[in-house]
């Protein structure tokens, strides 16, 4: 096991950024590490690369503990952070020579490694440019070359394609996929299509917790049934739940008396006929009945929605609105009316005072 994480937690003061995260990455795997902003991805990566200490839990990289054997961990990883720190006054080739020396690359192999990394990362045309004058895309490529320079068995890459144009993204992904044939790669990105292109497995984290760890092939083998019908939403959902083989129903009310539902079934069974018969017997018209393969985007959204703190607030707001509770607009209207009445009373009182003076 090249990366082993067990019940890893990290607090920043009272804020829990990583909450008992556990996962493993085997040798030769390319794993996508996904999650929305603030989910804890970068914090976890910084702990794995020994840049941050964990509050509790165990993390081992290449068999070495990140807390007690941090130097050995660093010798076995190449790390590309989200924001690449470069010495602005150094030229690209000088910087890579310097980094190769720091990482223990022997003198006789150093120049060859630098030339190889510059070639693979398309840096030859800027080799004599100062780092401080490079665009974000070139800075990102210098950071990737730095991560590769010592030929480590493990690569931990945080947003490796950030700032690259479409052609550069394609070349970089092809390079990462090639590197992953003999190395372990943990890749963080917000672009799901990149993960689908090169990764074998995904780990989705949200709210500091792992919500899903699954092979992409297994995700794509799953299927859902999409239903759209006209009728009472709760009764339709209850009727569909009674169909044998349905394990999960998610419903959403729409306008004009329509309700949309997503069904998950045991062993991805195709239950469209049974669902159609059930709704037909109740007299509820069906507008849509479709079986759809699950995608990475669907899995990602399921994890995010499952831990969405706004879901209950939105549901409560909708319930209050249906029950006739006053809205913000109603409150504003009442306030304007009260203000108008008050102004009218003040004007009337002023007229009376003027009459008394006369």
The C-alpha angle 326, 327, 329, rounded to 5 degrees, equals: 120
Q: Are residues 97 and 206 in the same domain?
A: yes
Can you give the pTM of this predicted structure? 0.75
As given in the structure block, the two tokens for residue 226 are 């999409």
In a domain, 325, yes or no: no
Does an H or E element contain 250, and which?
Answer: strand 246-253
Q: Are residues 161 and 227 in the same domain?
A: no
Does an H or E element contain 131, and which?
Answer: none
> Among 248, 271, 293, which residue terminates a domain?
293
As given in the structure block, the two tokens for residue 172 are 């970089």
Q: Are residues 156 and 39 in the same domain?
A: yes
> Among 254, 274, 293, which residue terminates a domain?
293
The C-alpha angle 61, 66, 71, rounded to 5 degrees, equals: 95
Q: Are residues 184 and 273 in the same domain?
A: no
Confidence (pLDDT) at 306:
79
Q: State whether residue 13 is helix, strand or coil.
A: coil
Q: Are residues 82 and 166 in the same domain?
A: yes
The C-alpha angle 87, 92, 93, rounded to 5 degrees, equals: 125
Confidence (pLDDT) at 310:
53
Q: Are residues 142 and 268 in the same domain?
A: no
Q: What is the 8-class DSSP label of residue 52?
A: S
Residues whose CB falls within 8 Å of the CB of residue 132, separated by 6 or more in sequence, listed in order: 86, 88, 89
Q: What is the 8-class DSSP label of residue 60?
A: E
In a domain, 324, yes or no: no
The CATH number covering residue 209 comes to: 3.40.50.300
Confidence (pLDDT) at 309:
53
Place of tokens 């390319």: 30
How do the pLDDT tens digits run along the chain, 358 residues long? 899 999 999 999 999 999 999 999 999 999 999 999 889 999 999 999 999 999 999 999 999 999 999 999 999 999 999 889 999 999 999 999 999 999 999 999 999 999 999 999 999 999 999 999 999 889 999 999 999 999 999 999 999 998 888 988 998 999 999 988 889 999 999 899 999 999 999 999 999 999 999 999 988 888 889 999 999 999 999 999 999 999 989 898 988 889 999 998 888 888 999 999 999 999 999 999 999 888 899 889 989 887 665 544 444 444 343 344 444 444 444 444 444 444 445 444 445 444 443 3
In a domain, 314, yes or no: no
Q: Are residues 43 and 191 in the same domain?
A: yes
CA distance 355 to 185: 89
Domain range for 241 is: 223-293
Confidence (pLDDT) at 308:
63
pLDDT tens digits for range 87-137: 999 999 999 999 999 999 999 999 999 999 999 999 999 999 999 999 988
Confidence (pLDDT) at 1:
86
Q: Helix, strand, coil shares of the chain as percentages rounded to 5?
A: 45, 25, 25
Place of tokens 């490529």: 141
Are 141 and 121 contacting, i.e. CB atoms less than 8 angstroms apart?
yes
Taking each helix axis as running N to C, give the angle between helix 107-120 and helix 136-148, from 0 to 180 degrees, rounded to the nearest 10: 140
Are 23 and 193 contacting, i.e. CB atoms less than 8 angstroms apart?
no
In a domain, 355, yes or no: no
In a domain, 321, yes or no: no
CB-CB neighbours of 114 under 10 Å: 24
The CATH number covering residue 256 comes to: 3.30.70.100
CA distance 242 to 234: 13
> Among 173, 195, 219, which residue terminates a domain?
219
Are 225 and 271 contacting, i.e. CB atoms less than 8 angstroms apart?
yes
User: Residue 192, class by beta-carbon neighbours within 10 Å (0-12 exposed, 13-18 middle, 19+ buried)?
Assistant: middle
Confidence (pLDDT) at 258:
93
Q: How many domains does the chain have?
A: 2
In a domain, 145, yes or no: yes
**Stated length of the chain:** 358
Q: Are residues 133 and 244 in the same domain?
A: no
Q: Are residues 12 and 134 in the same domain?
A: yes
pLDDT tens digits for range 157-212: 999 998 888 988 998 999 999 988 889 999 999 899 999 999 999 999 999 999 99
Helices assigned H by DSSP within the chain: 41-48, 70-75, 92-102, 107-120, 136-148, 166-179, 192-198, 216-221, 233-241, 272-282, 296-306, 310-322, 328-357
In a domain, 308, yes or no: no
Q: Are residues 196 and 276 in the same domain?
A: no
Residues whose CB falls within 8 Å of the CB of residue 22, separated by 6 or more in sequence, listed in order: 5, 6, 7, 8, 210
Cα–Cα separations (whole angstroms), residue 191 to 173, 194, 241: 12, 6, 35
Q: What is the 8-class DSSP label of residue 300?
A: H
Q: Are residues 260 and 116 in the same domain?
A: no
Q: Are residues 141 and 275 in the same domain?
A: no
CA distance 71 to 49: 10
CA distance 131 to 137: 12
């Amino acid at each position: 096991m090249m990366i082993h994480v067990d019940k890893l937690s990290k607090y920043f003061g009272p804020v829990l950024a990583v909450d008992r995260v556990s996962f493993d990455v085997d040798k030769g795997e390319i794993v996508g590490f996904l999650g929305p902003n603030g989910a804890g991805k970068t914090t976890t990566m910084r702990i794995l690369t020994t840049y941050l200490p964990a509050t509790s839990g165990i993390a081992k990289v290449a068999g070495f503990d990140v807390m007690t054997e941090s130097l050995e961990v660093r010798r076995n990883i190449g790390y590309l952070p989200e924001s690449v720190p470069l010495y602005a006054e150094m030229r690209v080739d000088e910087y890579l020579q310097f980094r190769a020396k720091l990482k223990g690359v022997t003198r006789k192999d150093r120049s060859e490694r630098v030339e190889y990394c510059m070639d693979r990362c398309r840096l030859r045309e800027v080799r004599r440019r100062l780092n401080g004058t490079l665009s974000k895309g070139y800075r990102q490529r210098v950071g990737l070359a730095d991560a590769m320079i010592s030929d480590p068995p493990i690569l931990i890459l945080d947003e490796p394609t950030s700032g690259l144009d479409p052609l550069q993204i394609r070349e970089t992904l092809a390079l990462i996929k090639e590197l992953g044939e003999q190395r372990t790669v943990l890749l963080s990105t917000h672009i799901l299509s990149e993960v689908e292109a090169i990764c074998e497995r995904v780990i989705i984290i949200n709210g500091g917790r792992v919500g899903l760890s699954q092979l992409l092939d297994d995700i794509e083998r799953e299927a859902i049934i999409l239903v759209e019908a006209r009728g009472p939403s709760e009764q339709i959902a209850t009727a569909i739940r009674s169909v044998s083989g349905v394990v999960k129903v998610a419903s959403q009310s729409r306008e004009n008396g329509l309700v949309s539902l997503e069904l998950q079934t045991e062993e991805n069974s195709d239950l469209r006929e049974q669902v159609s018969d059930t709704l037909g017997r109740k007299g509820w018209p069906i507008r849509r009945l479709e079986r759809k393969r699950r995608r990475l985007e669907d899995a990602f959204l399921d994890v995010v929605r499952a831990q969405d703190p706004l879901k209950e607030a939105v549901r409560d707001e909708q319930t209050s609105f249906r029950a006739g509770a006053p809205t913000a607009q109603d409150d504003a209207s009442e306030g304007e009316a009260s203000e108008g009445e008050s102004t009218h009373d003040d004007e009337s009182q002023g007229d009376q005072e003027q009459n008394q003076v006369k």
